[in-house]
Amino acid sequence: MTASTGTKLKRQTSGDAPGFRRSDGRSLLAELLHALNQPLTGLQCSMEVVLAVDRTPEQYVRSLREGLELTERMRALMGALREVAEIEDEPVEEEKNIELATLLNELLGELGPVAEAKEVRLVRNLSGASGKTVRLKARRTRLTSSLFRVFESTMSLAGIGTELRLEARWEAHDLALQIDWRESGIRRQYSRPELGLMVAEAGLERFGAKWERSRAEGLDTLKITLPFL
């Protein structure tokens, strides 16, 4: 998923739709299964080519390395598929209230050393979430793990020496969390950080959150709207 400078791509989803539907109507599981077909087909073709003619030892080694890369991509996609399927099967529990600013600060504190090692500067403005609680229709552990994946993945995507900006603000009857970052290099659609964001999206939608991601002039923006109480 790439966008040229000045082009804005949006993907909006709603927790009201069953099966974590995308804006194109496909479910998250359907998208991941479709993505899995590419490396699987590539691996089959690679093996067929190796068996078709005699090759030098160096060519065999190169083919093995290519096969291992494709296998690693499949393992990553299968892991994401498993996590999304588990989320879909989770029972919906009674609504619970969680003070969001405290939770966000705790998670960011855990990832502080990672940001420091990568030289990514965390700029946060969580005053909009201070003293406010969100209403959940899923386990607290699901919210915690999903938000952690969001921060971990966006931090991985952010370029070395750049800023990762986080803002929480009140919008009508909801609480919006917005994250902005700049990537280094070309975005790979199904890289591990991108898959992490997809799993986090499924987890957050489990209790009614809305997800919107866009890119404009090299700046990525992720906006998560949480039910507010």
**In CATH, what number is assigned to the domain containing residue 204?**
3.30.565.10
- Does the residue 53 lie in any domain? yes
Task: For residues 157 and 53, give the distance between their C-alpha atoms in angstroms, rounded to a whole number.
Answer: 41
pLDDT at 14: 38
CA angle 13, 16, 20 (to 5 degrees): 50
Do 33 and 112 belong together in one domain? no
How, if at all, do strands 11-13 and 174-182 pair?
A: unpaired
- Does the residue 4 lie in any domain? no
- Does the residue 6 lie in any domain? no
Phi, psi of 227 (to 5 degrees): -60, 135
pLDDT at 219: 92
- Does the residue 100 lie in any domain? yes
The answer to whether the Cα torsion of 209, 90, 88, 197 is positive or negative is positive
Domains of the chain: total: 2
Domain closes at, from 53, 73, 89: 89
Domain closes at, from 89, 109, 131: 89
Residues in the chain, pLDDT under 70: 1-26, 94, 137-138, 228-229
Contacts for 142 with CB less than 8 Å, ≥ 6 apart: 87, 90, 203, 206, 207
User: Quick one: which H or E segment has residue 219?
Assistant: strand 219-227
Cβ neighbour number for residue 214 with a 10 Å cutoff: 16
Contacts for 66 with CB less than 8 Å, ≥ 6 apart: 46
Phi, psi of 107 (to 5 degrees): -65, -45
What residue numbers bound the domain in which 104 lies? 11-23+93-227
